Structure 1
Amino acid sequence: MALSVPDAASPASPQKKSKGRASVSEAISVLAELFPPEFHSSLFVVGGAVRDHIQGKLFQDLDLVTKLPPEQFLQRGFDLVGGNSTSPILFSTHPRFGKIEVTVLPPEQSLQDDLLRRDFRCNAILMSLDGVIHDPLGGSEDIRLKRLYPCRTTSLRDDPIRFFRALRFASHGWNLSPGLCELLSPAEVAVLERLLQPIPVERFTREMSLSMLGGAPWRFFALMGRFQLGKSFLPEMFGMAAVPVAPSSHYGEGNLLKHALACLRRISPLSADPAARLATFFHDIGALASSDGPPPWSRKYHQTGCDLVRTMAVRLRLPERTARAIMAAVTLHRAGGRWQELQQSTRITLAQRALKSGIAPFFPLLVAAVNGKTEALPGWEIYLELVRLSPTELGMDAPALALMTAAQRSSLIMQYRHRKLKLMENLNKEQEEGVAER
């Protein structure tokens, strides 16, 4: 099947060019200048770059496949980076569109064989340098329908991480085809779970993290739960399904996993920060410890939750910022839910802790999502501005502070903050009244 290449000058949705992202047509123009015309029909762009091109998107990083001899690439500045026991792989970089990786197929392997070894049909489309798209598996139609169909029935067994890659696509609006779901029967899932054991956890974490950037990140965890695959990587998530939650205005989902999914769904349109989304999803992880454990508002409950987060963060190799955000959500979200009832000193302390842990920018959104509200923490920005002020900015005498004990210093700073807070609230009220009058 051969199709004319769409005009890259008028993509479906024009996008601003940026370093590291380019159009496939631009990349092909560069490569066409590097290789003589007689090679153009034998050198193919493949994978995500072609998929992005068909969708009218820019790509980052370029994968090529060919049966040309490696010497043709070595002569043009490519480096041989692999292929001692597999097909030769060559590598280069371009200042405009990033890395270029070329797989040289052995004589006995056809291009069709290479496409069948790939994950999904949407990623198994070739584009030659002479301007022709080759789509023998029908991936273009899958792209149009935004569906994921495996290239062959052994696709997931070939690399079980492809299941989580499919979930990542799902979080960005794609659907799992019936053909893919057929490869996820209970018996097959048991096989795949065993095959996942030796795979580095970083590969799973990468797919999970990229899923948190999608428009529907909750689908990653929901589909893990549906197919019951990934227990070796994220046992906490599967344990959440067994924890019932008490009925309330915001705990109406039946179990902890359903509640976590609902919270993640609520925060997704409010914040695109992956750390905010993961912190919201795991905010009640302390409930996994035991149904007979300490009450959820106790210090011991918070400590248990933080211990679980540390264990999970080490296993998944989570970034420190993400781990700190989840732990802060565990310890602070319940106090945030009672914001209107808190005394000023407690609010100030809560703002300090949120700021120190790095969740201050999205903490009100997290609290709103957890409690099923449209807004939360009125006056939060004033409290944040207050706790950012140094003792000197509060009008305190630095030399006098240095002579005090820690307890005396802390008490006096809190007194000054209370005074400053009253002034800030009065000023804010006057500004709001002035705007209303205008």
Structure 2
Amino acid sequence: MEFGFGEDDEVFRREAREWLEKHLVGRFAGAVGRGGPGSEHEGTAERRAWERELGEGGWIGLGWGRAGYGNRVATLTQQVVWAEEYARVRAPGRSGHIGENLLAPTLLAYGDEEQRRRFLPPIARGEELWCQGYSEPGAGSDLASLRTAAERDGDGHWRVTGQKVWTSLAHEADWCFVLARTEPGSRRHHGLSFLLVPMDQPGRVDVRPIRQLTGTSEFNEVFFDGARAVGVVGGEGNGWRVAMGLLAFERGVSTLAQQIGFEEELRAVVRAAVGSGAVRDPVIADRIVRLWAELRTMRWNALRTLGGAPDAGAPSVAKLLWGGWHQRLGELALRVRGPAAAVGPGDWTADAPYELDEQQRLFLFSRADTVYGGSDEIQRTIIAERVLGLPKDQPKDQPREASS
């Protein structure tokens, strides 16, 4: 299938561009360019209000594939257009990304109509924010070893107890979808359920921010102590299937918008290289050209996979491409500035031990790009096993069978 933009898409592009230009003024003008990776702490109140503004304009839920929940429906190419225009004007980082792009498609695929009617309209209106309760201290890349458990109380409600970690935006979220073990004694992928848990449960849900290299706290630890869940998506014991289905929604149209942000970051590095004279270094110049070419390749690959048949390895390939690319860009961003890259823009104080400019934050935050969202090792394992058909590793205590 050839992926391209038609006349209707260009009409849609003009509509999207005009709406963004008209609404990114006044209160929201100060939120432009804020709230992206590494700066999710910036302008939180304005960005939450911006979610409601997007909801009123009907711009949330374009990719849900069906209307009726307060959202408008757009074609795949129109979804790409919206994502590109949004990124080009540096519109605020989305607080509602997890609800719109992860939970909503999961409810549409695995939930029941009662769950869709309850949760999709508030997401489409930008009123309720979600976070993802997957990773744990001992179950990050190896998610199947999670220990958070849930059991029924006397009223038949599920009560969740355990700890999650690296939970993005948990300190702002109203709800959390939690993968928990609901069958006592079960192991690995078996006996798990996908639960919907309200965050406003004092004494039952405790959110603790994790301070990062950038000095900010986008990630959190979340402790559940008998927290009540209000529903199970996909049926009891089917949590692994639902959780893996959700991850398949994580990398799609949004990848193209991400690449536009990458393009702007690359331009900033080029400007810095020209300003410092580093561009005259043939090694630096070569790295700039390579990064530019790799970014174009990422775009063509994303368009190819969006327009083609389902490919089990496509999400993993995309993650491998952009994770390593972004890290190399962060390294180059500091190299072109020389020794000045080690000096922050502000003075040291007790309340703010250090301050970072955009390129310093880019370098530090991008160190995590090959870990979060599925580490590079996990992505390569998925490609090896699900695409290439290579045998799975045997546990160390189980010797391989002798070949005949």
- TM-score, normalisation: structure 2: 0.28
With a CA cutoff of 8 Å and minimum separation of 6, indicate the structure with the bigger relative contact order: 2
Tell me the TM-score normalised to structure 1 length.
Answer: 0.26
Structure with the higher helix share, 1 or 2 = 1
